[in-house]
Amino acid sequence: MTTSLIRRSLLATASAVVLMGALLSTAQAQNKVLLRVSTPAVPDDWHAKMWTVFKDNLEKSAPGEFDVQINLNASLFKQGTEPTAMARGNLELSSISAFDIAKLVPEFSIFTAGYIVRDPDHQQKVFKGPIGAEMFKTVSEKMDVTPLSTVYLGTRQVNLREARTVKTPADLKGIKLRMPGSKEWLFLGEALGATATPLAFGEVYLGLKTGTIDGQDNPLPSIRAAKFYEVTKQIVLTSHLVDGIFIAISNKAWNAMNPAQKQKVKAAAEAASSYNNENRIKEEAQLVDFFKQQGLQVTTPDVDAFRKSVQTTYQNSDYAKVWPKGLVERINATK
Ligand code: KDO
């Protein structure tokens, strides 16, 4: 064989080895269970970071078995469209809100109502108990997604571009308060006394900066993580909604898993929620000082006046008509 022939045959063998390696790694990747995550959360918020906890936890309990792909900032699916994407098989995981669920499971709107859930501990007890079990069963049947754990998003507060005196809902009259874009969210904004304006989370910073909106509502940790404090002057501690989101998986992905895989995925979701909940509760307690240092006014309104007005608005609404009889009382009695 000539030197050039030897070189050519060596090169051919080398390319074949590289090709086989590439095919093998593709095959390996294909054997992994693909878990695509989509969330509007910004990277510095706890419910964004919790997905890394989920991924790491799963990698430890089931090395090489899952391919978890995390997409933050609503980069894969627009805020609020995740449940549809999951039902269609285009997405496996997301953290869905009570508001997303209420669109398809009307009785779930009870958890979109202000001043129903008392605090993060009450929230966990409600969703880990019989009420949660009943509700999640209906969610799975009607939405084709399975909730795995309950994430405390924080207690929502009103955050204004210009400072003003706010004691009761009447003081928010005429304020263009940004809410996420669904009628359930807008109803909450109106119940607070404001003029609710729909806008996606990713557009809120600019809206506040340019003045197309007068304010927005979110829990303190999200106001910090999304830097809304840079473009607002006041936080009114209305504490109107102890907000929860739910780590949920598409039934298509869930039903394709064996029992051991399901158990590991559920455990990873619970670890992620716990990480979020602990850190968020801790940070929430410290943030009033931080915002004051940033030059914001942090004021306390007449919370009872807000509570009465918001509760009456919900009780008299069509939403309350579909709440199962006795559910409010059962939620209140959960301790
Ligand atoms: C928001 O848009 O105000 C909201 O807080 C609504 C939540 O349900 C959730 O979608 C959240 O945004 C995002 O995860 C961003 O923090």
- Which of 222, 242, 247, 283 for mutating ligand 1's site (highest number of atoms within 8 Å of CB)? 222
* pLDDT of 18 above 90: no
- Cβ neighbour number for residue 116 with a 10 Å cutoff: 22
**Per-residue pLDDT tens over the stretch 43-97:** 999 999 999 999 999 999 999 999 999 999 999 999 999 999 999 999 999 999 9
Report the nearest-CA residue for atom 16 of ligand 1: 41
242 to each of 14, 72, 217, 318, how far by Cα in Å? 61, 23, 12, 22
d(CA 156, CA 125): 19
Q: What is the dihedral angle through the alpha carbons of 155, 312, 99, 256, rounded to the nearest 10 degrees?
A: 100
CA terminus-to-terminus distance, the chain: 85
What sign does the CA torsion over 4, 7, 9, 11 have? negative
Helix (H, G, I), strand (E, B) or coil at 173: coil
- 41 touches ligand 1 (CB under 6 Å): yes
Which structure tokens are listed for 63?
């090395």
- 152 touches ligand 1 (CB under 6 Å): no
From the alpha carbon of 47, which atom of ligand 1 is closest?
Answer: 14
Amino acid at 48: A
- Better-predicted residue by pLDDT, 121 or 15: 121
**Per-residue pLDDT tens over the stretch 196-229:** 999 999 999 999 999 999 999 999 999 999 999 9
The CATH number assigned to the domain with range 31-321 reads 3.40.190.170
Report the nearest-CA residue for atom 15 of ligand 1: 41
* pLDDT of 10 above 60: no
d(CA 165, CA 191): 18
From the alpha carbon of 48, which atom of ligand 1 is closest?
Answer: 14
Q: How much is the pLDDT for 105?
A: 98
- 180 touches ligand 1 (CB under 6 Å): yes
- 185 touches ligand 1 (CB under 6 Å): no
Q: How much is the pLDDT for 17?
A: 46
Q: How much is the pLDDT for 93?
A: 99
Which structure tokens are listed for 300?
């306390």
- 39 touches ligand 1 (CB under 6 Å): yes
Indicate the pLDDT class of residue 23, thresholds 50, 70 and 90: very low
**DSSP conformational letter for 206:** H
From the alpha carbon of 201, which atom of ligand 1 is closest?
Answer: 2
| CB contact at 8 A, 177 and 105 | no
| CB contact at 8 A, 244 and 117 | yes
The two beta strands, 176-179 and 215-219, are parallel
- 157 touches ligand 1 (CB under 6 Å): no
From the alpha carbon of 179, which atom of ligand 1 is closest?
Answer: 3
